[in-house]
Structure 1
């Protein structure tokens, strides 16, 4: 007989950062535009390019200007990819 051990992990509707959702959406669009299945594997170069584009757009929306350097861009990527931690009220 199978038994459940402990409490199942809590899953919240907004656990996936919006950045990840937008990157996934852009990757699907890239695949469809190239005539591939929406969930086909994407090269590391294309993934990096799309992540950079999405992060740059997010930075520009937030600050009203493009990032001045890679450090500014990487800081916004780090913040946007942090999991939503409900224990800290984030």
Structure 2
């Protein structure tokens, strides 16, 4: 009986620690994308694509609200289906 409780406790700890890592990554992208999209005329669309790009590029989002894409080559080089830039 004690062994089952210990096993369940370990499983619970592992699951909660992996959840904390995921939520931390999302919040760092969200904060960076909030800044990046703060002056965008289509704010919600900008946030959507910025967060997609940020996750694909391991949390890299260029500084400022426009330009500076050379800071994050991955972010800069992602393309949409028409060959244009995907990331705002």
Q: Which has the higher contact order (CA 8 A, sep 6+)?
A: 1
More helix by share: 2
Using the size of structure 2 for normalisation, the TM-score is 0.31
Using the size of structure 1 for normalisation, the TM-score is 0.31
